[in-house]
Amino acid sequence: MKQLGIDNFSGKRVWIIGASSGIGEACANALLKLGAKVALSSRRQERLEQIARTAKPEQTLILPLDVTIQGQMTSAHQNILKNWGGVDLLLFVSGMYVPLRADNFDIYIAEQTIDANLLGPMRAVAAVLPGMLREHAGHIAIVGSVAGYSGLPKALAYGPSKAGIINFCETLYYDLLPQGVSVHMISPGFVATEATAQNDFEMPALITADQAASEILSGIEKGEFDIHFPKRFSGFLKFLRILPYPLYFWIVRRFVKI
Q: What is the mean pLDDT of residues 61-83?
A: 98
Residue ranges of domains in the chain: 13-255
Q: Does domain 13-255 have CATH number 3.40.50.720?
A: yes
239-247: Cβ within 8 A, 24+ apart: 240/149, 240/150, 241/149, 241/150
The single-letter code of the amino acid at 257 is K
Helix extents (H) in 115-208: 120-135, 158-176
Does position 163 have pLDDT exceeding 90, yes or no?
yes
Among residues 105, 91, 75, the alpha carbon closest in space to that of 19 is found at 91
Q: Indicate whether 201 pLDDT > 70.
A: no
Q: Is the pLDDT reported for residue 200 higher than 60? A: no
Q: What percent of the chain has pLDDT over 90?
A: 82
Residue 247 has pLDDT above 90, yes or no: yes
Q: Is 188 helix (H, G, I), strand (E, B) or coil?
A: strand
- Distance, CA of 246 to CA of 220 (rounded, Å): 36
Residue 191 pLDDT grade (very low, low, confident, very high; cuts 50, 70, 90): confident
34 has a pLDDT exceeding 60? yes
Residue 195 pLDDT exceeds 70? no
What integer pLDDT is reported at residue 255 of this predicted model? 73
Q: What is the mean pLDDT of residues 68-91?
A: 98
pLDDT at residue 199 tops 60 = no
CA–CA–CA angle 230, 189, 99 (5° rounding):
165
- Rounded to the nearest integer, the mean pLDDT of the chain is 93
Alpha helix positions (H), 97-157: 107-114, 120-135
User: Are the C-beta atoms of 182 and 138 separated by less than 8 Å?
Assistant: yes
Let me know: does 178 contact 172? Beta carbons within 8 Å: no
